Amino acid sequence: MSEATDPHFHTHQLCNGLQIVGQSMPDFESVALCFNVRTGARDEEDTRIAGISHFLEHMMFKGTTTLDWQQLKQEFTRIGAEKNGSTEVEYTVECRKVWQSRRGVLLVHSREQEFS
């Protein structure tokens, strides 16, 4: 659906070029937050970088500035959240899902995400 035909669909581009896409779905009692990177296996023709997209996916599970990866996993389990990722041919993605009432915890941990 395009932005013009769906009033619940929103896009915004930050000054650094990062595009944020959101869709409000009022009938759902959960929140999903996904990080999509427009690179995947198709972009790895050079054998010296083969697997780099999959490596990026694993870096998304590294932890946050306040929690290591094990503590983050325990915290997600504690609040009933799901976290998963995949590397596809054209993109790499990491998604987090949680009940609407726990969205604050999800957002705090997402803001603290480490990619170093």
Q: Which residues are designated catalytic?
A: 57
Token couple for 49: 């970088």
Nearest in space to 54 (alpha carbons), one of 21, 77, 79, 87: 87
Within 8 A by CB and 6+ apart from 113, the residues are 60, 64
